[in-house]
Structure 1
Amino acid sequence: MTRWDAETAVVGLGAWGAAALWRLASRGVDVVGFERFTAGHTLGSSHGCSRMLRLARPEHPGLVPLARRSKELWEQLTDTERDTASGRESLFTACGGLAIGPEDGRVAGGTLRAARAHGVPVRTFTASALRFRHPRHTGVPRRHIGVWEPSAGVVRPEPALRAMLTAAEQAGARVATDSRITQVEHIPGGVRLHTPHASLTARQVVLTAGAWLPALLPGLPLQTVRMPLARFRELETDSGFDPESFPSFRRELDDGRILWGSGTQDTQNVSLALYDGMGEGKPFDPEDTDRSVSAEDWSDLARLLPAKVPGLETVPARVAVGTRTHAPDGMYVLGRPGGDPRVIVAGGAGIHGLAQAPGIGEAVADLATGTPSPVPLDFLSPDRFN
C-alpha cells in the first residue's frame, strides 16, 4: 500500500500555481508546491508590468464569471494584507480600463459585445471623444472607438504573487523552492514526482509550470514565445501619463497587433508592450535562461511611440524579457487530460492570465476536491485539441 507524501502537489508556482496552492490550502487540503527557481523569478510571465483585470472578457463568455471571482478574491486578499501590514498598497487597484480599436474588432468590439452580454457597465467614446479624454493616445483612426470599463483595474504582479504564497503557507501549504520536477510518473492511485535528488508521491498533481508544461506533459499543444516588457520615461514631468489620464489599456492597431500598457502607477515610468494579435511571436526555449536584451526586443514598439503615444523617450529605461505560452486557439488549458483523476493541468495563459489567477486557482481547487464548479469549464478542456 502506497504511503502518500501529500494529497495534492502543485508543480510550478507562478501566478496560477500560487493561486491553486492558496485556494487548495484554504480548503484544508494537504498540499505541497514546487518551484524550480525562486519564488517570483523573472523567467516566466508572472512579473513586470501591471496587468489589467477586465470583467468584460471578449475571448469567451465563460471567462467573465472567472474574472468576477478573481476580482472578489483579489479584494479579499488585499483586505487580509492590510490587516497584517498597515499601509500596504493594494494588490488590485480598481482604476478602470480602456479598450481601443475597431467597433467590429477583437479588442474594443469584443469588449463591448461581452459587456452587453453579461451586464458589465461600460462607456463608449468615438475616436474624437477619445482623443479629447485621453490625449496621449494619438493616431486613432476615425472608425475606431474607445470602451471604458470602470470596474476594471490593475494587478501588481510581484506583490500579488508573494501575497498568494504567503496566504497559502498560512493556510497550511508547504512550499519547496529551487526544486525542479524532472518527471511525473503515473502510479496506481496517484503520481510519483521525481527531482534530480529524490522522489515523492501524491494522490494527484496540478501542473501549472507555464512554459515548462510540455516537458512534463508531452503532447500538450502549447507554444512558448519571447515576451519583452518595456518601461519608458516621460520627456517632461507631469505630461499626462498618470493613471487617470493614461489608464491601463489594450489598443488594437490597424495591422492586427495589440499595444498594451499602463501609466505611471508604480514608478515614474510608463509600462508598454506590443504583441501580435494572433498570439504569434518569436519561439523561445524555456530552458534557455539567457534573457539578455537587444534592440530587437523593443525597436518595433519604440518606432510606434511618436505617432501613437507621443511624449515618451523612444529608448526604454528598462526592458525585461519573459515568456508567453499559448494554445493554438488562444484560450487557456484547464482540466484533467483524458479524464485522468491523477492529473490536473492549467496553462496557456499568456501574459494576461495573471490577473485571472485567483479564479483559475478556485477552479483548480474545485476540480481537485470534486466540488461542482459554478462556472462551466468544458471550453478550456485540454482534450479539445484531440
Structure 2
Amino acid sequence: MTTLLLTTLLLATLPAQSVAVAARQPQQTPSEVSLTRWDSAAELAAGKPRGVTVTGDALTLDAPAPGRARLGATTYETGRWRSPWVDSGFAFDELVASWEATTTKRSWIAVEVRGRATDGRRSSWDTLARWATGDKRVRRTTLSGQKDDLASVAVDTWRAPAGLTRWQLRVTLARKAGTKAAVGVESLGAVTSAATPAGPTSAPGVGRGVVLDVPAYSQMTHRGHFPQWGGGGEAWCSPTSLAMVLGYFGALPPAPSWALAGDPDPWVDATARAVYDHGYDGTGNWSFNAAYAAARMRPLGGSAFVTRLRDLTEAEQLVAAGIPVVVSIAFGKGGLTGAPISSSNGHLLVVVGFTSTGDVVVNDPAATSNATVRRTYSRAQLERAWLDASGGTAYVVHDAAHPLPASPGNW
C-alpha cells in the first residue's frame, strides 16, 4: 500500500500553543476576484482521485482506501482528490478556501493548496486546514506559517506576496483504520484576489429600501462562556453573526446538552464550538465558519462559502435576493459612527439591508443586548471599514428558496 505523506500529519503532534498565530493584516480592496467551486458530480469528476470515488455529489473513500497515515497514536486509512489547475486570469496575492464535508467521530479531512508563478515556478503543497465536524477525537486546526517558498499560510488565508496566476487544491479524506467511519466531501473551492487602493464610495443600487428579517443575537451576552472555545464576548463576533444568518434560514443547531442553564441563545455557543480553530485559538476562521454553515444548509438545498465582494453594490444584489451577508471589518476610533464599540482591529457583522438612501442596515453582534443589535451605519464609513480591512471578505450563505443572483464572478 502507498503511504500518503501530509504536512498536516507531520505537525499533528504539536500542541496548539506551539503553532504560530498570524495577525490579520490590513488589506486593500480587491480589484480582481475569481471564485472557483467544485460542488456537483460532474465538477468533482474533473479532478484526479486516488482512493476516492464520486458517489452521488460527494467524494467518498474507497474500501479499502489505499493510503495510511498516523495522527497521534491512531492509524487512518486515507485517499485523496486533486483538483484541476485553475487559471485566475490575473496575478493573485491571496486565496481563501471553502469546503463542505461530512465526518464522523473517527474521520477527518485535510485541505492543501499549491500555485504557479508567471515564470513557471511551482510552490510546494501548503496545508490550509485539518478539519472535522466534531472536536472530541480530532482537533480542528490550521497551521500558520509554512513560509518555505512562494506563499505562506495566515490562519485561513494563503498569501503570495509576489503574485501567482494558477492554483490547485488537494483534499485528503481519512478514517480510522479498520472502521467504516463515514467521511465525504460535497464541495471544495477557493476565492483568489488581487488588491489595489480602494476607490470612492459606491453608489446605492438594487438593495435600497430592502431590509431582511434576520434575528438579532448579541455576542456580549455570552461573555465568559466556555473559555476553551474563546470565552464569548468580544471573541465571538463571527459565530454570533453566523448564528443570526442560520436563524434567518431556519437552520440553527439545537440547544446542546452542555448548554449553560438560563442561556437564551445556546445555539450561539454551539456555533462557536463548531467553528473553533485550535491552531488559531479563536472562532474567527473564515473557512471554518463557512464549512459549518454549509453543513447546516445542505438539508435545505443550499450552500455556504467565503468570497470577496468588490463593494456594497454587490452586497446589495445578494440582499435583494433575500440573502444576508456576513462581512469582516476593522476601524479606528471614530471610524464607524453609532457602533457599539469605539474601534476594532477585526470584527464581523451581518448586512441585513439598506435604507432608501443607500446607508447600511446591519445586525451588529457587538451590541450589549439582543434588543440593540440592529443598527444603521453610514455607507461610506462601513464600506471603508470593510474593504480596507479585509478586502471585502464575506460569508455567503443561502438556501434553495433564495438562489444566488447572476454572478459577477465571485459567487
Query: TM above 0.5, one fold?
Result: no
Structure with more contact order per residue of length (Cα contacts < 8 Å, sep ≥ 6): 1
**Higher normalized helix content (fraction of residues):** 1
**Higher normalized strand content (fraction of residues):** 2
How does the TM-score come out when normalised to structure 1? 0.27
